[in-house]
Amino acid sequence: MKTLLAGAVASLLVSSAGAMDLLEVYQESLANDAVYAAARAQAEAGREGVVQARAGLLPNVGVSGNTTWNENTFSGVDRNYNSNGYGAQLTQPLFRWQNWVQYQQGRLQLGVTEAQLLNARQDLALRVSQAYFDVLKAQDVLLAVESLKQAASEQLALSKKSFEVGTVTITDVHEAQSRFDLANAQQLAAANDLEVRRQALTQLIGRPAGDLAPLREGAEIEAPQPGDIGSWVGAAEQNAYGVQIQRLAAEIADREVDRNRAAHLPTVDVVARYSKANTGFSTTTGAAAESTSRSIGLELAMPLYAGGALWSRDREAAALKLRADSDLEAARRSAALAARQAYLGVTSGMAQISALEAARVSSRSALEANRLGYEVGVRINIDVLNAQSQLSDAEQRLAAARYDTLVAQLQLEAAAGSLDEDDIRRVNGLLKH
C-alpha cells in the first residue's frame, strides 16, 4: 500500500507537459476499445444483410451431375453399364412480392446497422470522458486529502508543543491525533481509488494512460446552446440514436406485415433448364443411349393451404408491429428524459460551481481566521481542524462539480444524437496542455 501511495502521489507531481489529453485518449480508444471493436465487427456483418436480401430478386443458377453403375440380369443375360448425366437450371423471379418486401427490409436494416455503429461511437466518447474525468477527480481528491493530512500533522505537532508548555489540554492532542489518523486513512483510500480509476481508463485504450492533462484553473464552462430545454428535448425525441434505431425497427416490422401477406400471393418465375444423359452398356449385346433436353418457360405457384401457418404468421407480424410502435414511443420518452436530466445537470452544475468557488474562498478565510485565533488563544484546536476539513471538502466538491458538469454537457449532446469528435475537441480545449 505504501508503494501504491508513493506512486500515486509522485504521478501528481509530474508536470502536465507531455501528458495525454482527452482527445488523444479518445482517438486511442477508437482503435483499442474492445466494445467498440465488437460494434464495428457487428456493423460489418450487418451490412451483408442488404446483399442477402437483394439476392431474392436476382437469378438463381445451379448445376447438377450424377453417375451410376448398374448391374441387371434379364433372361439370363447380364447387362452391366454406367449411366451419367448432368444439367443446369436458371430461375429468374418475375413476381415474388415477398422478395421485394424483404429487399426493402434489408435496406432498412442497413440503416439500423449504421445507426447502431454511430451510437456505439457516441457511447465510447461518453465512456472515455467519464473515465478520464474520474481519474482527474480521484487525483484532486488525493491532493486535497494530502493537504488535509499535512495540515493535520502540523496541527498535531503544534498541539503537542502547546501541551508540553501547558497551554492546551491532552484532549486537544487527542483530537489532533484523531484527525491526523483519519486523514491518513482517507489518503490510503484515495490512492486506491485513483489506481482503480486508472485501470478503468486502461481498459478503454489497452495500455496504461500515464499522466493526463488536468483541467485549467478557472476554465470557463459554457452554458448549453440553445438555452431552452424544450429545444433539446425536441431534438432528442427526433434525433437520438435510440429513437432512430427504433423508428427503423418499426418500419421493418411494418414491412414484415406486408411480407407475410405476400406469402398468400402467387409467384411467377422464368425457368430455363438444360440436361444431358447417356447410358453405356458393357455387355456384348448392349447398346448406348444418349439424350439431351432443353426447356424455357414460366412457372406459376399458388399457395392454397399450409396448415394455417400463413395466417398465424400474419397475426404474429401484426402483434410484433404493435410492439415495435410501443418500443418507438418508449425510446422517445427515454430520450426526452435523458435530455432533460442532462440539461438540468449542466445548468445546476454551473450554479454549483459558482457557489462552491465562493465556498472555497470563504473556507480559506475561515481557516486563516481560526489559525490566527488559535495562536492568540481565542480558538481551540478543534476549530482549526474543522476549518481544515471544511476547506478540503469544498475543494473536492468543487473539482467534482466541474468534471460532472463537463460530462453532463457531453451527455446532453449525446441525448440529442449530436455528440461527435468536435465536442470532444471543445472540452479538450479546457485542459492544461
Q: Any idea what the CATH number is for the domain that residue 206 is in?
A: 1.20.1600.10
Which of 86, 185, 191 is closest to 135 using CA atoms?
191
Residue 87 forms part of a structural domain:
no
Number of neighbours of residue 12 by Cβ within 10 angstroms: 14
Residue 106 forms part of a structural domain:
yes
Q: What is the CA radius of gyration of the chain?
A: 37
For 261-297, letters b (16+ CB in 10 Å) and e give: bbbeeebebeeeeebeeebebeeeebeeeeeeeeeee
Residue 289 forms part of a structural domain:
no
pLDDT of residue 286: 56
pLDDT of residue 17: 52
Going residue by residue through the chain, which has 433 residues, state the pLDDT in tens, using 9 for 90 and above. 444 444 444 444 444 457 899 999 999 999 999 999 999 999 999 999 999 999 999 999 999 999 998 887 777 777 788 889 999 999 999 999 999 999 999 999 999 999 999 999 999 999 999 999 999 999 999 998 888 888 888 778 878 887 887 777 788 788 888 888 888 998 999 999 999 999 999 999 999 888 999 998 878 888 998 989 999 999 999 999 999 999 999 999 999 999 999 999 999 999 999 999 988 764 544 567 788 999 999 999 999 888 888 899 999 999 999 999 999 999 999 999 999 999 999 999 999 999 999 999 999 999 889 888 877 777 767 787 788 888 888 988 999 999 999 999 999 999 999 999 999 999 999 998 7
What is the DSSP secondary-structure string of 129-166?
HHHHHHHHHHHHHHHHHHHHHHHHHHHHHHHHHHHHTT
Which of 411, 295, 287, 396 is closest to 347 using CA atoms?
411
Residue 134 forms part of a structural domain:
yes
Stated pTM of the model: 0.83
User: Nine-digit cell at 122?
Assistant: 457516441
pLDDT of residue 70: 83
Do residues 142 and 389 make contact, with C-beta atoms less than 8 angstroms apart?
no
Residue 153 forms part of a structural domain:
yes
pLDDT of residue 1: 40
User: Which amino acid is located at 191 in the chain?
Assistant: A
Residue 69 forms part of a structural domain:
no
Provide the domain limits for residue 404.
2-32+96-266+302-428
Residue with cell string 484532549: 171
In 302-427, the DSSP E strands lie at none
Residue 199 forms part of a structural domain:
yes
Residue 56 forms part of a structural domain:
no
Q: Tell me how many domains the chain contains.
A: 1
